[in-house]
Structure 1
């Protein structure tokens, strides 16, 4: 993490940081936590395997507002996938998860990424391949995850998988109807679920719209 410490010193006003195809060989459990500058407000980790967890366990970013992660679900919940304990980032108010190309739908998810951002008010999931149903189901089943959630965006492009999201998404919105303010759905989701969700929510304060 010495390189990150050097980066913080060299760029004390750093605002946005993206990890992509970086060499993580210098990172290990014994390394000290790297303290990133308070000016850093957006972190994007474009790794879809274990390195993302390694990075997130070894950094401190007190000013971070947006955390964006590429996720390979094939590794989520893997016995060896939680070697590095997660740190929490209480300043983050927006969590974005991109389902990676190598993702596979396992049907279970341990809520790892939600535990990183306990105070997030906005959650955006981008799922080109239609494999995010277990993540939505986890959030629906565990109200302790993202308790302050106000805005939810679900962007799914794989039309044939839209139906799989119907049940967990309906449960999620029903369980959060007293706290959610805005729900944005991709066009194919809105067309399939929009009217039903509006009826389910009973015309309450939650706004359901098409992204």
Structure 2
């Protein structure tokens, strides 16, 4: 829902400066969807063509693409050693998919602004992320990171999140904003997602 809210917030901008991709993007990449499918599905709303993109964040596998640093950041509060390599393989696939979408015909004429080496950007870890030793509260960190209009700095992350406070604040923010009027659309997308996830 936060990804949808963030994507809605940039629709009025001629040249948005960030994208917030839904979990389905990485899932579609993982399941081998074609570039044409990705472009048709995500360019109109999620990856709105622009010449001023600064960052891309995604809820799945915690990647954060920083166009200023030309790097992808692996943000995870539970960096279990056996899973890091797998997650970063997915991140590399997501990087390549974003590059392919940004150089597809669907993205023109803005594809000339796509970095030529985007698919080869280095993968870095955010500094200062506490290892929570469990994945139960990873979603709370993701919620905190999905604030592209804030002052997120992947080089310096500190502090401890209180899950209940953050979840309560997020719920009130979503329910009390104009975004709440899109409840019907959100429920439709949720049903569609549940149907797909059961296949």
User: So what's the TM-score if we normalise by structure 2?
Assistant: 0.30
TM-score by length of 1: 0.29
Q: Which has the higher contact order (CA 8 A, sep 6+)?
A: 2
Higher strand content, 1 or 2: 1
Greater Rg over alpha carbons, structure? 1
Structure number with higher helix proportion:
2
